[in-house]
């Protein structure tokens, strides 16, 4: 599970995403057309909680920024938009392992000139066997079919490792809330509110994270190390230690918090390391994007359908 899925043309995707939050819509006399279409697709891979069952839990988390959608007038001072989202996972044999069409609708607006509109989100949790897959996400404006965005990315699943391994690192917009009811937005007894695309903007000075440790020795304490390094730098900008203790018969959840307030804007690699006193056992990475000039909406905590 060490090969993390990556975006095709990820840097171009993220630059376009940042630009979305700087765009102001024109006053709405006719249906308004906003900025370049955009879709963020985050993927996280976990082991099955039932360790006797081979396979992987794959979570797809799609976020559609609201700025580019066309808002249609429904009544005086009432405007509505909608996005049609198609998600598909195809195996190496060309057969579809998953396919779904979802309609996402933001809240009705009375003023479409607002600079920031709430993002739309959808999450799907799937069980898939080991193998190589391709993920395809397509979103289009329900009221203007020519406005659409496509994201494609590879997905490699492997769940047979007997040594300690980590799931993908999930970046959160708020702390993992313990004791949550079971849902698509909870894992390991925590409710998770994702930070779409790993984006942290003005006012979001802390990174929260969630990952799971597998095959840990029960009751053995291990050392954790969180490292933030700006892309292209030779030294870490932030290093933070912690500890955890392996659980028997189930994954060991790991939650962490890092303070970004003193770090300059830019792209960072977040590395989560699991160590004994003598050696590194396993490490996993994620990308953090920090912007300090602009506010953006917080990560959505529930899917809209």
Q: What does pTM read for this prediction?
A: 0.82
| Contact predicate 152/8, CB 8 Å | yes
Tens of pLDDT, residues 63-81 = 998 888 899 998 988 999 9
Q: What tokens appear for 182 in the block?
A: 């079971």
Angle at 1 between CA 231 and CA 250, to 5 degrees: 120
Residue 27 CB: number of other CB atoms within 10 A?
9
Distance CA 103, CA 88 (A): 15
Q: Please list the alpha-helical segments (H only) found in 234-300.
A: none
Whether 298 shows a pLDDT value over 70: the answer reads no
Q: What's the DSSP call for residue 11?
A: H
Query: Which is more confidently placed, 250 or 32?
Result: 250
Q: Which two tokens stand for residue 88?
A: 């598909």
Q: Which two tokens stand for residue 149?
A: 């965005």
The CB density around residue 280, as the number of other CB atoms within 10 Å, is 11
Query: What value, to the nearest 5°, has the Cα angle with vertex 258 and ends 60 and 38?
Result: 35
Average pLDDT of the chain, as a whole number: 83
Please give the average per-residue pLDDT across 242-270, as a whole number: 95
Task: Give residue-wise pLDDT tens across range 3-50.
Answer: 443 333 333 434 434 333 333 332 332 344 446 788 999 999 999 877
Handedness of CA 201, 206, 212, 213 (dihedral sign): positive
Which residues have CB under 8 Å from 260's CB, separation 6+?
Answer: 200, 204, 205, 206, 207, 228, 288, 290
CA-to-CA distance for 206 and 172, rounded, in angstroms?
A: 9
Q: Which structure tokens are listed for 100?
A: 């779904």
More confident residue, 26 or 117: 117
Question: Distance (Å, rounded) from C-alpha 150 to C-alpha 153?
Answer: 10
| Closest-CA residue to 288 (of 176, 213, 194, 225) | 194
pLDDT at 116: 63
């Amino acid at each position: 599970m060490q090969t993390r899925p990556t975006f095709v043309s990820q840097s171009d995707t993220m630059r376009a995403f940042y630009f979305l939050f700087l765009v102001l819509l024109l006053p709405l006399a006719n249906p308004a057309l906003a900025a370049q279409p955009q879709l963020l697709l985050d993927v996280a891979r976990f082991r099955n909680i039932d360790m006797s069952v081979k396979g992987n839990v794959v979570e797809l988390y799609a976020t559609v920024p609201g700025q580019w959608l066309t808002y249609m007038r429904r009544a005086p001072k009432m405007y509505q938009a909608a996005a049609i989202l198609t998600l598909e996972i195809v195996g190496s044999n060309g057969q579809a392992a998953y396919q779904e069409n979802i309609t996402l609708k933001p809240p009705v607006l009375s003023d479409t000139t607002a600079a920031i509109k709430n993002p739309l989100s959808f999450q799907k949790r799937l069980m898939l066997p080991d193998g190589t897959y391709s993920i395809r996400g397509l979103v289009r404006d329900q009221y203007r079919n020519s406005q659409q965005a496509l994201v494609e990315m590879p997905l490699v699943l492997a769940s047979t490792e007997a040594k300690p391994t980590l799931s993908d690192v999930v970046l959160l917009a708020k702390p993992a809330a313990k004791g949550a009811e079971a849902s698509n937005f909870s894992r390991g007894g925590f409710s998770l509110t994702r930070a779409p695309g790993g984006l942290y903007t003005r006012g979001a000075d802390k990174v929260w994270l969630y990952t799971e440790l597998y095959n840990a020795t029960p009751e053995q304490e291990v050392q954790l190390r969180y490292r933030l390094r700006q892309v292209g730098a030779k030294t870490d900008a932030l290093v933070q230690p912690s500890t955890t203790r392996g659980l028997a018969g189930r994954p060991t959840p790991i939650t962490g918090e890092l303070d970004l307030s003193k770090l300059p804007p830019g792209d960072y690699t977040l590395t989560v390391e699991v160590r004994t006193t003598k050696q590194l056992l396993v490490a996993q990475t994620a990308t953090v994007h920090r912007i300090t000039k602009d506010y953006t909406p917080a990560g959505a905590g529930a899917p809209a359908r």
